[in-house]
Amino acid sequence: MLGKDETNIRLAIRGVDVPLMNALRRIALAEVPSMAIDEVVMIENSSIVQDEIVSHRLGLTPLKTDLDSYNLPEECECKSEFGCSLCRVTLTMDAEANEGTRTVYSGELVSENPSIIPVSDKVPIIKLAKGQKLKLEAYARLGKGKNHAKWQPVAVCAYKYFPKIEVPTEKCEECAKCVDICPKKVYAMKENKVEVRDLLACNLCMDCVEACPQKPPAIKVEWEKDAFIMNIESTGVLPPERIIQEATKTLDKQLKEFQEQIKVEAK
Angle (CA) 186-190-196 rounded to 5° is 25
d(C-alpha 25, C-alpha 158), whole Å: 7
Q: Which is nearer to Zn ion, 2 or 84 (CB)?
A: 84
**Which part of the chain contacts Zn ion (CB under 5 A), choosing from 72-80, 149-157, 191-199, 212-220?**
72-80
d(C-alpha 34, C-alpha 153), whole Å: 6
How many CA atoms, within 13 angstroms, populate the side-chain half-sphere of residue 264? 6
Nearest to 128 by CA among 94, 162, 161, 167: 94
CB of 140 closer than 8 Å to CB of 102: no
**Nearest approach, Cβ of residue 120 and Zn ion (Å):** 28
Nearest to 85 by CA among 100, 70, 63, 75: 70
Counting residues that bind Zn ion (by CB under 5 A) gives 5
Q: Which is nearer to Zn ion, 20 or 76 (CB)?
A: 76
- Residue 190 burial (CB < 10 Å; 0-12/13-18/19+)? exposed
**Nearest approach, Cβ of residue 90 and Zn ion (Å):** 13
Q: Is there binding between residue 76 and Zn ion (CB under 5 A)?
A: yes
**Nearest approach, Cβ of residue 3 and Zn ion (Å):** 38
CA dist list (Å): 187 to 79, 116, 145, 236 = 59, 45, 39, 33
**Which part of the chain contacts Zn ion (CB under 5 A), choosing from 8-16, 24-32, 79-87, 221-229?**
79-87
**Nearest approach, Cβ of residue 131 and Zn ion (Å):** 39
List the x/- string, 144-163, binding to Zn ion by CB under 5 A.
--------------------
CA torsion 20→21→24→30, rounded to 10°? -110
Q: Which is nearer to Zn ion, 43 or 72 (CB)?
A: 72
Q: Which is nearer to Zn ion, 86 or 206 (CB)?
A: 86
**Nearest approach, Cβ of residue 77 and Zn ion (Å):** 6
Q: Which is nearer to Zn ion, 81 or 191 (CB)?
A: 81
**Which part of the chain contacts Zn ion (CB under 5 A), choosing from 18-26, 69-77, 150-158, 226-234?**
69-77
d(C-alpha 193, C-alpha 176), whole Å: 8
d(C-alpha 158, C-alpha 103), whole Å: 35
List the x/- string, 81-120, binding to Zn ion by CB under 5 A.
---x-xx---------------------------------
Q: Which is nearer to Zn ion, 143 or 240 (CB)?
A: 143
**Nearest approach, Cβ of residue 37 and Zn ion (Å):** 17
Q: Which is nearer to Zn ion, 76 or 205 (CB)?
A: 76
Q: Which residues bind Zn ion (CB under 5 A)?
A: 76, 78, 84, 86-87
